[in-house]
Structure 1
Amino acid sequence: MRNAARWATTLGLTAAAVLAPLTGAAQAAPGTGPSALYAPSALVLTMGHGESAPSVTPERAVTLTCGPGASGTHPAASSACADLEGVSGNLDALSMRPGVFCTKQYDPVVVTVEGVWQGQRVSYERTFPNECVMNAHGSSVFAF
């Protein structure tokens, strides 16, 4: 049941993140307006405590839309989009910020990212040893 609830939440938020930017574009003629210049970039990020995504119920979930502008429920959407642009959307390339020190306490946190980045499907999962390490990676992308 926990897994079904997790997938329902993820799919619902993904649909909202992907479709929300398109609602305003429906009024413009096809191929016109600023949104026609950008491939869609809409992501749903979730976080929960545990070893792997199938066994974790998301504790937090945010949406992040990048392009033509940064928006969504992510608390630092602009800087998160800038961080993702800096690594061309490669979530594995996000590294720990210099000067951040975390304890070695093991309280695993799983982050998932689902959606579309510049027109390409994204499905990402990573387990961090604790929330401090998660928040320190990718500057603001995982800090939600």
Structure 2
Amino acid sequence: MTHTTTARAVRGGLLAATALLVACAAPAQATVRGPEPAGDWLLLTVTRGDTRSGSTEGTLLLCDPPRGHAHADLACAELDRAGGDIAAVPLRETHCPMIYSPVTAHARGQWRGRPVEYTRTFPNTCVMAARTGAVFALAEDPPAAPAPAPAPAPAS
């Protein structure tokens, strides 16, 4: 009789421990988010290095009117010309060093009522600036200007 009681107690304890483990290990289903801004907006982040251990900076770009970004006027104008598609921002002709120092650009938001989601890893910040214009130029420094066209060779 004692054996049966002990086996039941052990099984009950194991069942309770398993239920507790499953309940604690389950991911939270609700994500807390604040209200989304009205108009065109993008939450922009740039992660330098490995996305797991790199440093991340970010900002909220608002375009109605342009604000919240070091170069909001220029970034909003480029996005407007590209229809809100970051991949369609015109490529800037520039010479970038062949140094691998990866940066990951991420944008989430809405443009003209449509959701925007963009993530891309570039070999370095120069290539990111050439491909995305002022959109991810989060620092106060002026965004990289297009390189001047090469001068024509002198006539001989």
Secondary structure of 1:64 counterpart: strand
Contact 2:45 2:136 in 1 (8 A): no
Contact 2:78 2:134 in 1 (8 A): yes
Structure 1 CA distance, aligned partners of 2:90 and 2:99? 20
TM-score by length of 2: 0.61
Runs of 5+ consecutive residues of structure 1 not aligned to the other structure: 1-7, 23-39
Partner residue, 2:45: 46
Identity %: 34
Partner residue, 1:101: 95
CA shift for structure 1 position 137 = 2.3
Structure 2 CA distance, aligned partners of 1:117 and 1:57? 28
Q: Which has the larger radius of gyration?
A: 2
Measured on the aligned residues, the alpha-carbon RMSD in Å equals 2.3
1:77 and 2:76 equivalent? Answer: no
- Which structure's residues are more often helix, by fraction? 1
Contact 2:66 2:76 in 1 (8 A): yes
Quick one: higher RCO (CA 8 Å, sep 6+), 1 or 2? 1
CA shift for structure 1 position 96 = 2.6
TM-score by length of 1: 0.66
Secondary structure of 2:132 counterpart: coil
Runs of 5+ consecutive residues of structure 2 not aligned to the other structure: 1-30, 139-156
2:59 to 56, 59, 62: 62
Contact 1:46 1:62 in 2 (8 A): yes
